[in-house]
């Protein structure tokens, strides 16, 4: 009985998060469209083939690498946070693009169980990646050193068993750890819609950083 009560409560929380995500999504899309950060019309990134590390020679070329935090639609409330990364051409277009994210193993079943307890997670592509539309995005150019640290983090994630829980250890948690590993700020609490997480990433690394410098 207690298990069913927990599941029912979790489902109601999911519904509440869905409503919040829908409201916040409209505001987020307006903001990203206004500042030119919307990525809804971009071709989906590839998960095939590892990126090669930045070499010392490439490291002397300023700002040719990028990381982007994306929120996309999901088959359950709250959306899904992904991290794309790669190299940029001199004109700023993508020369290469890969992505990584954590998701519960077992699809829908794993998701439902993961609402209650922590379950095994995977960083392999899942249904919806590259298919469902992006709802918010924050791109940032990074140095060669940051790019190599990002590749190090991704390589370790692909060889280490991941875990997932809807409230305490989800896709936002994974993205936060990656952000911290390359020296970026990220929200401390993962239990928020993906669109809100991406918007918080932008605010913490762009707006609040500039405000701190001015202060």
pLDDT in the model for residue 64: 87
Closest Cα partner for 141 from 39, 70, 66?
66
Whole-angstrom distance, CA of residue 171 vs CA of residue 166? 9
pLDDT in the model for residue 152: 97
pLDDT in the model for residue 130: 77
Contact partners, residue 201, CB within 8 Å, separation at least 6: 69, 138, 175, 179, 184, 185, 186, 187
Whole-angstrom distance, CA of residue 132 vs CA of residue 102? 16
pLDDT in the model for residue 92: 86
pLDDT in tens for each of the 215 residues of the chain? 554 554 455 445 444 444 444 444 444 444 444 444 433 334 445 544 566 666 655 545 555 899 999 999 987 778 999 999 999 998 888 999 999 999 999 988 999 999 999 999 999 988 778 788 999 999 999 999 999 999 999 999 999 999 999 999 999 999 999 999 999 999 989 999 999 999 999 999 998 655 454 54
Whole-angstrom distance, CA of residue 132 vs CA of residue 99? 14
Q: What share of the chain is helix, strand, coil (3-state, %, to 5)?
A: 45, 20, 35
pLDDT in the model for residue 74: 85
Contact partners, residue 40, CB within 8 Å, separation at least 6: 133, 134, 135
pLDDT in the model for residue 32: 41
Asked if 64 and 143 count as a contact pair (C-beta separation under 8 A), the reply is no
SS (H, E, C) 58-98: HHCCCCCEEEEEEEECCCCCCCEEEEEEEEECCCCCECCCE
Largest CA distance in the chain: 63
Question: How open is the CA angle 117-118-119, to the nearest 5 degrees?
Answer: 115
Whole-angstrom distance, CA of residue 13 vs CA of residue 2? 16
pLDDT in the model for residue 108: 85
Question: How open is the CA angle 175-86-168, to the nearest 5 degrees?
Answer: 5
pLDDT in the model for residue 162: 96
pLDDT in the model for residue 51: 64
Q: Note if the pTM is more than 0.95.
A: no
Asked if 169 and 163 count as a contact pair (C-beta separation under 8 A), the reply is yes
pLDDT in the model for residue 52: 67
Whole-angstrom distance, CA of residue 167 vs CA of residue 52? 34
Three-state SS at 134: strand
């Amino acid at each position: 009985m207690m298990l069913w009560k927990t599941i029912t409560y979790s489902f109601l929380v999911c519904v509440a998060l869905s409503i919040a995500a829908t409201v916040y999504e409209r505001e987020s899309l307006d903001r990203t469209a206004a500042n030119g950060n919307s990525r809804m019309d971009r071709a989906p990134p590839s998960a095939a083939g590892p990126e090669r590390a930045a070499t010392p020679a490439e490291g002397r070329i300023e700002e040719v690498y990028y990381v982007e935090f994306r929120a996309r639609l999901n088959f359950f409330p709250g959306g899904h946070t992904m991290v794309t990364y790669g190299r940029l051409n001199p004109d700023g277009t993508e020369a290469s693009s890969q992505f990584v994210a954590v998701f519960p193993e077992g699809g829908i079943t794993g998701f439902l169980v993961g609402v209650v307890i922590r379950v095994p997670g995977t960083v392999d592509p899942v249904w919806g990646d590259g298919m469902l539309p992006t709802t918010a995005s924050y791109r940032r150019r990074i140095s060669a050193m940051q790019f190599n640290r990002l590749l190090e983090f991704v390589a370790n994630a692909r060889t280490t068993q991941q875990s997932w829980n809807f409230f305490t250890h989800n896709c936002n948690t994974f993205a936060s750890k990656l952000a911290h590993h390359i020296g970026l700020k990220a929200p401390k609490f993962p239990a928020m819609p993906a669109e809100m997480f991406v918007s918080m990433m932008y605010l913490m690394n762009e707006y609040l950083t500039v405000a701190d410098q001015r202060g």
